[in-house]
Amino acid sequence: KTFDIASIPADGVGHEVVAAGREVLEAIATNSGGQFGFEWRDFDWGSEYYARTGRMMPEDGLEQLKDLDAIFFGAVGWPTVPDHVSLWGLRIAICQGFDQWANIRPVSMLPNVQSPIVGAHERDLDWIVVRENSEGEYSGFGGRNFSGREGLGEVSTQSAVFTEVGCERIFRFAFDLARTRPGKKVSKVTKSNAQQYGMVLWDEVFDRVAQDYPDIETESVLVDAMAAKFVLRPEDLDVVVASNLHADILSDLGSAMSGSLGLAASANLNPDRRFPSMFEPVHGSAPDIAGQGIANPVGQFGSAALMLEHFGLDVEAKSLQVAIDRTCEQGILTRDVGGTASTHDVTQAVIDNLG
């Protein structure tokens, strides 16, 4: 079987980590002895493409991607383009265009990588943030240039949209995921004390869906309290389900707790499999270190492992995770996690450590 994969490094360190991820995936395909392979389709979309064309991707961009098996993405955003233009023009366009309504972001501790959380390794921290990825605060509803009341200047609105269907499907996804994990628990993040419409619907749908999963423990935690809980009692977390904005913030907190933003992986899934899903690290284009060959490729590797899982290649996904663990055990770490290794060194070590 050959998997057709779109390669979209986009901007900054995206180029370095996507190249590293492809090397590792090619090594895994070679090790399979021809059982499967990858056919890469290169797309040069991103902020440089924008400078040439005035768009982040061509008008028929989604059309060009829609029959591929997956999208392997780097990071988008560069100081030459306003961030809301680059993000909406490429990443969110793909997520929403392909109805990738579930974004999963696992967090775990790696050997030799120091966590800002005291005793993180002994506490065996391991949880997964499930992000509602199609609506909520990032629905794009709102506008600018309202003629405000005297003395207010310009007035703008940005509305969060929650639909019953959107809430239900992400909760079912979270509960189904919890069933596959030892913790068997779903923590739902909310802010329904202050936001009395959307978040209340969110809560009600959660309670209804929870009734179909009596084997799964549940809790409801306000987002501000959840931020504190991440830091104080992370061992109580298993599956954390949150709205688009809340999960965006909490998952960066989670990845920082694992030691670096450069470690965190994510998958933007279209669980119905009508469209390709997209696999990308949580971090951005890191302009401060781009082009130096020092970016941490581990978040991209973790995203590659999630892509392998999505293809049903569970054994290969597991062996990639093990290779990442071994590489950290050997102390082959990039600077963001206290080492001196380059992106290339880590990539080579992971390839050498594969099964």
Q: What is the DSSP string of 196-208?
A: -SHHHHHHHHHHH
Identify which range of 83-91, 147-155, 191-199, 309-317 contacts ligand NAI by CB under 6 A: 83-91
Residue 345 interacts with, from ligand NAI, Mg ion, none (CB under 5-8 Å by kind) = none
Confirm or reject binding of residue 91 to ligand NAI (CB under 6 A).
Answer: yes
Identify which range of 64-72, 74-82, 103-111, 190-198 contacts ligand NAI by CB under 6 A: 74-82
Which residues fall within 8 angstroms of residue 63, CB to CB, at 6 or more apart?
Answer: none
- Nearest residue to 297 via CA among 249, 345, 355: 345
Confirm or reject binding of residue 242 to ligand NAI (CB under 6 A).
Answer: no
> Binding-site residue total for ligand NAI (CB under 6 A)?
22
- Nearest residue to 215 via CA among 168, 182, 173: 182
Hey, which bits of the chain come out as E strands? 2-10, 37-42, 70-75, 102-108, 126-132, 136-147, 154-161, 185-190, 217-222, 239-242, 265-269, 277-281
Q: Is residue 343 a contact partner of residue 293, using CB atoms and an 8 Å limit?
A: yes
Residues in 309-348 that interact with ligand NAI by CB under 6 A: 336
Confirm or reject binding of residue 248 to ligand NAI (CB under 6 A).
Answer: no
* Distance between CA atoms of residues 116 and 127, nearest Å: 16
Residue closer to ligand NAI (CB basis): 13 or 128: 13
Confirm or reject binding of residue 261 to ligand NAI (CB under 6 A).
Answer: yes
Q: Which residues bind Mg ion (CB under 5 A)?
A: 248
Confirm or reject binding of residue 296 to ligand NAI (CB under 6 A).
Answer: yes
Residue closer to ligand NAI (CB basis): 316 or 336: 336
Residue 248 interacts with, from Mg ion, ligand NAI, none (CB under 5-8 Å by kind) = Mg ion
* Minimum gap (Å) between residue 199 Cβ and ligand NAI: 24
| Interface residue with ligand NAI, options 285, 303, 319, 347 (CB under 6 A) | 285
Is 334 in a helix, a strand, or coil?
coil
* Distance between CA atoms of residues 250 and 228, nearest Å: 10
Is 156 in a helix, a strand, or coil?
strand
Confirm or reject binding of residue 259 to ligand NAI (CB under 6 A).
Answer: no
| Interface residue with ligand NAI, options 65, 286, 349, 350 (CB under 6 A) | 286
* Distance between CA atoms of residues 15 and 336, nearest Å: 18
Confirm or reject binding of residue 75 to ligand NAI (CB under 6 A).
Answer: yes
Identify which range of 112-120, 206-214, 217-225, 295-303 contacts ligand NAI by CB under 6 A: 295-303
Burial 89-99 (b: 16+ CB within 10 A, else e): bbbbbbbbebe
Nearest 5°: phi and psi at 155? -120, 135
Residue 131 interacts with, from Mg ion, ligand NAI, none (CB under 5-8 Å by kind) = none
* Minimum gap (Å) between residue 204 Cβ and ligand NAI: 31
* Minimum gap (Å) between residue 280 Cβ and ligand NAI: 6
The residues binding ligand NAI (CB under 6 A) are: 13, 17, 75-77, 83, 87, 91, 261-262, 280, 283-289, 295-296, 299, 336
